Amino acid sequence: EEDLYVAGLEWSESMGADIFTSSLGYMDWYEYADYDGATAVTTLAIEAAVANGLIAFVPMGNSGPEPATLGAPADAAGAITLGATSVDGTLAPFSSRGPTADGRIKPDVSAPGWQVITVEPMSGQGYIAVNGTSFSTPIAAGVAALLLEADPTLTPQQMQELLRSTASQADAPDNDLGYGIIDAVAAVGAACSCADADADNSYDQACGGNDCNDQDPAIHPWAFEICGNMIDDDCDTLVDELDPDCSPDDTGTDTGTDSTGGDEVDTTAESSGDEVSADSDDSGCACSLGEDPRAPLGWMGLLGLLALLKRRRV
- Kindly tell me if the per-residue pLDDT of 89 is higher than 80: yes
Residue at 38: amino acid letter? A
Percent of the chain with pLDDT over 90: 61
How does the average pLDDT of the chain come out, rounded?
A: 81
**Weakest mean pLDDT among 12-26, 162-176, 291-305:** 291-305
- Residue 200 or residue 177, greater confidence: 177
Question: Quick one: pLDDT at residue 207?
Answer: 64
Question: Quick one: pLDDT at residue 247?
Answer: 63
pLDDT digits (tens, 9 = 90+) for 290-312: 233 333 323 333 333 333 333 33
pLDDT digits (tens, 9 = 90+) for 258-299: 444 443 333 333 333 333 333 333 322 222 222 333 333 233
Domain 2-193 fold: Rossmann fold (3.40.50)
Question: Quick one: pLDDT at residue 196?
Answer: 77
Q: In the chain, what are the domain boundaries? A: 2-193, 202-296
CA triplet 308, 312, 314: central angle to 5 degrees? 75
**Weakest mean pLDDT among 19-23, 224-228, 267-271:** 267-271
Question: Quick one: pLDDT at residue 208?
Answer: 63
Question: Quick one: pLDDT at residue 49?
Answer: 98
pLDDT digits (tens, 9 = 90+) for 109-168: 999 999 999 999 888 889 999 999 999 999 999 999 999 988 889 999 999 999 999 999
pLDDT digits (tens, 9 = 90+) for 244-261: 878 655 444 444 444 444
Query: Strands 19-21 and 55-59, how do they pair?
Result: parallel
- Kindly tell me if the per-residue pLDDT of 50 is higher than 60: yes
pLDDT digits (tens, 9 = 90+) for 76-88: 999 999 999 999 9
What is the average per-residue pLDDT within 194-211?
77
